[in-house]
Amino acid sequence: MSGFFLRVTPIELGIGVGAHGFDKDRLAAYRSGVIDPKAGAALVGATSAVEAAGWSLLGEKYKKTPRGFTPAIEQYVRDVKIDSLYEGTTGIQALDLFFRKIARDQGQTLSRLAADLLTFVKGGPDELAAERELLGEALEDVQAQIGVMGAHALASAEDPPQIYKTGLHANALLESLAELVIGWLLARHAAVALERLADGEDAAFHEGEDVPFYKGKDAAFYEGKVASARFFCRNVLPKARLRREAAQAEDGAVMALSDDAF
């Protein structure tokens, strides 16, 4: 059974539609339609269009997930819409990082973070010497990119278009800084793991390798921590150098294009 109702008050116009008492076939078709990639996307598009027109979509939520649904399906549907709003077309998170989190206090907070990271780079375990070196290089690249972007921002006081050179590389800076911190945390985890491995009663070394191992029940876990740190530092952190060089070479030419060129 389906139906609708209309409610009109001095401050509100409400329209309610719904269905009650699905038969087995109709319920199965409904559930299949919601989770189907094409039909589900169309449903999200339709509800988004309604909300964009100024309407609010309200309704009761299930007290428990119906059979046939993934418990998180409702969250997935919401995320399809919400995630598109976090960044939008303006790169707001990246711009916020540079102009509010870094520039607003003249980089003091970032400097404290860099000091903590540099302490590990200089004083971490010898077994992670290569990884510590890569962390140090990535830190230099990030700081250099921030310096270049900051110089463009200051120059925009006299030459406003210079600010474009900062904005064009804000997302790249967000990526490099995030990867730098992740690499640092992974390396710290690896340092702890090396200590645990070395503390094992059967601690030993594979021929030609500098990572101790033992046959304890957590050995694989600790070895995985070390391996993940090595992989990340060697394969991800070097990308910061490319982003730094791109920021240094930026001439702002793309912003000089006419609107018609787009």
Tell me whether residue 4 is exposed, middle or buried, using C-beta atoms within 10 angstroms of its C-beta: 0 to 12, 13 to 18, 19 or more.
exposed
Determine the length of the chain: 262
- Helices 219-235 and 170-198 sit at what angle, rounded to 10 degrees? 150
| Res 228: pLDDT | 96
Look up tokens 């711009």; give the residue: 95
Note the pLDDT of residue 40: 66
Could you say which of 87, 207, 223, 250 is catalytic?
87
Q: What is the pLDDT of residue 236?
A: 97
33-47, 132-146, 190-204: which is most confident = 132-146
Q: How far apart are CA 115 and CA 234, in angstroms?
A: 22
pLDDT at 134: 97
Specify the pLDDT at position 144. Answer: 96
Q: What is the pLDDT of residues 54-82, one digit of tens each?
A: 776 665 554 444 455 555 555 555 555 55
- Long-range residue pairs from 95-101, CB within 8 A, at least 24 positions apart, any chain: 95/167, 95/170, 97/170, 97/173, 97/174, 97/177, 98/146, 98/149, 98/153, 98/166, 98/170, 98/173, 99/153
Q: In this predicted structure, what is the pLDDT of residue 50?
A: 74
Q: What is the pLDDT of residue 88?
A: 52
Mean pLDDT score, 23-38: 72
Greatest mean pLDDT among 4-13, 29-38, 195-204, 221-230 lies in 221-230
Who wins on pLDDT, 145 or 20? Answer: 145
Q: Using CA atoms, how far apart are residues 190 and 224, in angstroms rounded to an integer?
A: 9
β-bridge pairing 204-205 and 2-9: unpaired
Q: What's the token pair of residue 60?
A: 């009761």
Q: CA–CA separation, 232 vs 124, rounded Å? A: 17
Does position 138 have pLDDT exceeding 90, yes or no?
yes
What are the backbone dihedrals phi and psi of residue 130, each rounded to the nearest 5 degrees, phi first? -65, -40
How far is the C-alpha of 163 from the C-alpha of 150, rounded, in Å? 9
Does 131 participate in catalysis according to the annotation? no
Report pLDDT for 63. 44
More confident: 231 or 101: 231
**At 16, is the secondary structure helix, strand, or coil?**
strand
* This prediction's pTM: 0.63
For 84-93, what is the mean pLDDT?
60
Region 195-203: mean pLDDT is 68
pLDDT of residue 170: 93
Here the tokens at position 64 are: 């428990």
Q: What is the pLDDT of residue 25?
A: 81
The overall average pLDDT reported for the chain is 80
Half-sphere exposure of residue 180: CA atoms within 13 angstroms, side-chain side: 27
In this prediction, residue 212 carries a pLDDT of 55
Higher pLDDT, 31 or 155: 155
Check residues 25 and 175 and name the one with the higher pLDDT. Answer: 175
pLDDT tens, 93-133? 888 889 888 988 888 999 999 999 999 999 989 999 999 99
